[in-house]
């Protein structure tokens, strides 16, 4: 009996020791630090160092130095800054105390010609093609994402403007401002499938991937047309503010935001009911709109400012200068890219600090900017020079 209790006590001690050891191992934390430099050894400040597993990001100081305390287990570390490309992400597990990154500034890597007066550009990454709407020629140029060569031209409606790509059905939708239609193109064959009659002077477009609906802003009618992308039929019309222009879809909250350039408001639409649930006052002549990190960014062209909306309220406004006419959000670097038609430039804006990181010269009168997340390329449509600048 005594032996039994002896072994029992020993067993309990061993289990307790194992549990204590496990908790000790799990409680171990470690620190990591390093530098971010260019390939000439110069420090790069204000670089976001991000960590997976829910750890908060840190930023490099003016000497390019950063540090992070309290990490546990395997953690992936990455460096990000608008206008820069860095060496690949690094995995650490406590053995690496020093992690350095090296970066190179993005630049205009190439320029290719399009038709006269291009308006917009969209991408079909799987098909390795891009599409450019050419307003003065009533065509859409199809280009190769690898060579930038124009593969063919597709005849569409009069004065094509904005476009969207539906990856679910591999269809391209083109808003034709001059004849009040939307042209639907099969991206596999580059053939026109149909032309859909919408409201007067269609401009902005957006796709809601959850409902597979296309929203079209009819600038003259003060309405949105809703198209079912599975049938290419108009299924409804929504009254919004005066002169609707840009549209952005918040997939997480099932909301559609519409800039009304004629009355300086943003209409908020419930994606399930297609009812306007709120109207938000913003700056003068709101046009382009995008969403990033739960914040809706609205470009007020006449003011040269951007309004920030969260939870259906304006939470702040900051100046970006006059001449800005389009923008897009890049989640990879938490940045907003702005085209300035007065200075013929692309502006890299840090979304966290609302500050300009860099300005890059592009073609004449840039009017649209898009990001290829597969290749990390940025495309700028230059209306005045009939070109597309490729930045990498």
Indicate whether this model's pTM tops 0.85: yes
pLDDT at residue 22 in the model: 46
Phi, psi of 282 (to 5 degrees): -125, -155
For tokens 């013929």, the residue is: 344
Instruction: Report the range of poorest mean pLDDT among 126-130, 142-146, 213-217, 369-373.
Output: 126-130
pLDDT tens figures, 264-310: 999 999 999 999 999 999 999 999 999 999 999 999 999 999 999 99
pLDDT at residue 373 in the model: 87
Characterize 2-12 residue by residue with b for buried, 16 or more Cβ atoms within 10 angstroms of its Cβ, and e for exposed.
eeeeeeeeeee
Say if residue 25 is exposed, middle or buried (CB neighbours under 10 Å; 0-12, 13-18, 19+).
exposed
Instruction: Report the range of poorest mean pLDDT among 13-27, 94-108, 130-144, 172-186.
Output: 13-27
Summarize the confidence of residues 113-121 as an average pLDDT. 97
Task: Indicate whether 316 pLDDT > 50.
Answer: yes
pLDDT tens figures, 170-214: 999 999 999 999 999 999 999 999 999 999 999 999 999 999 999
Task: Indicate whether 12 pLDDT > 70.
Answer: no
Token pair for 358 = 């860099």
Structural domains for the chain: 27-105 (2.60.40.1120), 108-391 (2.130.10.10)
Token pair for 180 = 């009040």
Question: What's the CA gap between 367 and 121, in Å, rounded?
Answer: 10
pLDDT at residue 10 in the model: 60
pLDDT at residue 18 in the model: 54
Please state, for a pLDDT cut of 90, what percent of the chain lies above it: 84
Instruction: Report the range of poorest mean pLDDT among 90-94, 253-257, 280-284, 320-324.
Output: 90-94
Question: What's the CA gap between 337 and 206, in Å, rounded?
Answer: 19
Return the sign of the alpha-carbon dihedral for residues 264, 226, 372, 88: positive
Task: Indicate whether 20 pLDDT > 90.
Answer: no
Contact predicate 63/42, CB 8 Å: no
Nearest in space to 86 (alpha carbons), one of 100, 102, 98, 99: 102
Question: What's the CA gap between 193 and 36, in Å, rounded?
Answer: 51
Which of 368 and 353 is assigned the larger pLDDT? 368
């Amino acid at each position: 009996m005594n032996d039994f209790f002896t072994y029992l006590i020993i067993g309990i001690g061993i289990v307790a020791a194992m549990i204590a050891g496990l908790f000790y191992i799990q409680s171990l934390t470690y620190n990591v630090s390093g530098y971010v430099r260019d390939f000439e050894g110069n420090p790069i400040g204000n670089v976001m160092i991000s960590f997976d597993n829910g750890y908060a990001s840190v930023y490099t100081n003016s000497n390019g130095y950063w540090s992070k305390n309290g990490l546990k287990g395997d953690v992936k570390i990455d460096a990000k800054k608008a206008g820069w490309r860095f060496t690949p992400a690094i995995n650490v597990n406590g053995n690496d105390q020093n992690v350095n990154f090296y970066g190179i500034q993005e630049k205009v890597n190439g320029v290719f010609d399009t038709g006269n007066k291009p308006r917009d550009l969209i991408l079909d990454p799987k098909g390795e093609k891009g599409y450019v709407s050419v307003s003065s020629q009533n065509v859409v140029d199809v280009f190769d994402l690898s060579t930038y060569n124009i593969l063919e031209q597709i005849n569409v409606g009069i004065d094509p403007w904005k476009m969207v790509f539906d990856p679910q059905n591999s269809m391209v939708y083109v808003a034709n401002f001059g004849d009040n239609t939307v042209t639907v193109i099969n991206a596999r064959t580059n053939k026109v499938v149909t032309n859909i009659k919408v409201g007067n002077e269609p401009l902005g477009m957006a796709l809601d991937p959850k409902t597979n609906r296309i929203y079209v802003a009819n600038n003259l009618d003060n309405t949105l047309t809703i198209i079912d992308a599975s049938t290419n039929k108009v299924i409804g019309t929504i009254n919004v503010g005066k002169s609707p222009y840009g549209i952005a879809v918040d997939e997480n909250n099932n909301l559609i935001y519409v800039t009304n350039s004629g009355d300086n408001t943003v209409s908020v639409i419930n994606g399930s009911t297609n009812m306007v649930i709120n109207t938000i006052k913003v700056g003068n002549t709101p046009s382009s709109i995008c969403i990033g990190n739960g914040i809706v960014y609205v470009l007020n062209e006449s003011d040269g400012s951007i309004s920030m909306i969260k939870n259906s309220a304006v939470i702040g406004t900051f100046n970006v200068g006059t001449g800005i006419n389009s923008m897009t959000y890049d989640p990879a670097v938490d940045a907003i890219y702005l085209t300035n038609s007065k200075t013929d430039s692309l502006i890299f804006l840090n979304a966290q600090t609302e500050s300009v990181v860099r300005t890059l010269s592009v073609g004449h009168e840039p009017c649209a900017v898009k990001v290829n997340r597969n290749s990390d390329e940025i495309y700028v449509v230059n209306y005045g020079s009939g070109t597309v600048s490729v930045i990498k």
